[in-house]
Chains A and B, each alone.
Chain A
């Protein structure tokens, strides 16, 4: 890592740290000061879980190939929070959690254990399932299509790392009339999820489940931090663009003025 990258990374981390801490204190006092925009996928989750409870069928949630220890660690933690919220609302029913990265297994067990705390027997051996993925995760997608049919799941929440193979899962869900919420950090998987899922989650929306479904001030604070960082980035891009086109634009205007004169 060169010194400029180190400096920029340090500034971004410190900025995120400072804004999160400050904003969290404000939100603890006045939660209504920071309204959040509506994300339809998170609005749909309580309804989806309610339908699962009424039908007496399980919910299916999946990390895809996201796991701990790599570049997808933060995504895996954020997805675990979303799955915790889904399982918490699905207290009467069951939740099946699948993944293709074994490092997400303990996290998945932990999320379900916390959600079903005090409800003995709610977590079965088959509640958390690991399916190995081949080179292109197609075998994992094929296994998920089997889960949708065998378990007669009521709804699917697929947030994590999925490639275009997510099309197979979403198509199988559509054929069985199972509603789906899906999003991926991989661009090709994201494009497929946007086209095929009932409610897609795009980009940073994958990371904010705790703020939308929980009532934690820090989670809401992190959404505001994300907005602040986003606006700073936009400002940075505009300044850099202005700086890059400044000389050619001034040259062109000067030429135009000389020609006019």
Chain B
């Protein structure tokens, strides 16, 4: 019975996958394109449903932490109270208060974290050089220094601004495109693996 279920799931996944690819590669006027649109809308609805799952997961995980008095349960308590308050405000239609909380609490906290990130990055560069002094690590740190110093509005290091511009336009851009091309090819290959029914998420 389990094997039948797996085979059915695989057949559905392959069928819908092939239909979607066919529809996306066809012109917009053919009927298959309309079927594809319906499939994509179904997928969007299913993804929206998972938000409910997420909220449920959040409450279950943190209520249990509070119940068991696990380490950091106070944070879980604050999280549950905040989440319940925001949901309550939304249900009662107090969107202005919600907006106020978003702008004055969440954005402020996120800005503070963004400020901390600079120190984390500097620590990371230091740690990399401490851990392994390799050619690539030295090159990475050197380029990082040129990019940072080149951005300074100081006349004494003005020559570094053109070096910085060249670095960003040529080697950095080429490297970034190389990584993105690799990701794109890997995405295609993973998609093909799903289309031939060999992805583990429904194979077992």
Please report A residues at the B interface, Cβ cutoff 8 Å: 1, 6, 9-10, 12-13, 16-17, 20-21, 67-69, 71, 74-75, 77-78, 80-81, 84, 102-103, 105-107, 110-111, 114, 125-126, 128-132, 134-136, 138-139, 141-142, 146, 149-150, 164-165, 167-168, 170-171, 174, 185, 187, 190, 192, 194-196, 198, 202-204, 206-208, 210, 216, 218-219, 222, 225-226, 229-230, 233
Secondary structure dominating the interface of B: helix
Provide the B99-140 mask, 1 if CB < 8 A to any CB of A, else 0.
000000011011001101100110111011001000000001
Complex contact A106–B53 (CB within 8 A): yes
Of B90-98, B150-158, B185-193, the stretch lying at the interface with chain A is B185-193
A151 CB, min distance to chain B CBs, angstroms = 8
Q: What is the bound-complex CA distance between A125 and B54, given in angstroms?
A: 12
Contacts of B72 in A (CB 8 A): 146, 149-150
Complex contact B113–A138 (CB within 8 A): yes
Complex contact A229–B185 (CB within 8 A): yes
A99 CB, min distance to chain B CBs, angstroms = 9
Chain A CB within 8 A of B61 CB: yes
Contacts of B128 in A (CB 8 A): 195-196
Complex contact B120–A167 (CB within 8 A): yes
Q: Known pairs A138-B113, A203-B179; list 15 more (Cβ under 8 Å).
A: A1-B25, A13-B188, A17-B195, A20-B196, A74-B187, A75-B190, A136-B114, A138-B109, A139-B113, A196-B128, A198-B131, A203-B186, A204-B186, A218-B196, A219-B198
Contacts of B196 in A (CB 8 A): 17, 20-21, 218
Contacts of B194 in A (CB 8 A): 74, 77
B116 CB, min distance to chain A CBs, angstroms = 7
Complex contact A150–B185 (CB within 8 A): no
Q: What is the bound-complex CA distance between A50 and B54, given in angstroms?
A: 31
Complex contact A195–B189 (CB within 8 A): no
Complex contact A135–B125 (CB within 8 A): no
Residue from B47, B120, B187 whose CB has the most chain A CB atoms within 10 Å: B120
Interchain CB contact (< 8 A) of A225 among B53, B124, B192: B192
Q: What is the bound-complex CA distance between A107 and B193, given in angstroms?
A: 17
The verdict on A125 contacting B61 (CB below 8 Å), with A103-B47, A168-B117 known, is yes
Q: What is the bound-complex CA distance between A130 and B43, given in angstroms?
A: 20
Chain A CB within 8 A of B58 CB: yes
Closest residue on chain A to residue B111 by CB atoms:
A138
Interchain CB contact (< 8 A) of B114 among A69, A138, A203, A219: A138
Q: What is the bound-complex CA distance between A243 and B96, given in angstroms?
A: 60
Complex contact B113–A168 (CB within 8 A): yes
Contacts of A71 in B (CB 8 A): 187
Q: What is the bound-complex CA distance between A236 and B47, given in angstroms?
A: 38
Residue from B46, B114, B178, B183 whose CB has the most chain A CB atoms within 10 Å: B183
Contacts of A129 in B (CB 8 A): 57-58, 61
The verdict on A105 contacting B50 (CB below 8 Å), with A130-B57, A167-B120 known, is yes
Count: A-B pairs, CB below 8 Å: 190
Chain A CB within 8 A of B180 CB: yes
Please report B residues at the A interface, Cβ cutoff 8 Å: 21, 24-25, 43-44, 46-47, 50-51, 53-54, 57-58, 60-61, 64-65, 70-72, 75, 106-107, 109-110, 113-114, 116-117, 120-121, 123-125, 127-128, 131, 140, 176, 178-183, 185-196, 198-201, 204
Interchain CB contact (< 8 A) of A150 among B71, B113, B117, B187: B71
Complex contact B25–A75 (CB within 8 A): no
B18 CB, min distance to chain A CBs, angstroms = 10
Complex contact B190–A207 (CB within 8 A): yes
Complex contact A185–B183 (CB within 8 A): yes
Contacts of A170 in B (CB 8 A): 120, 124
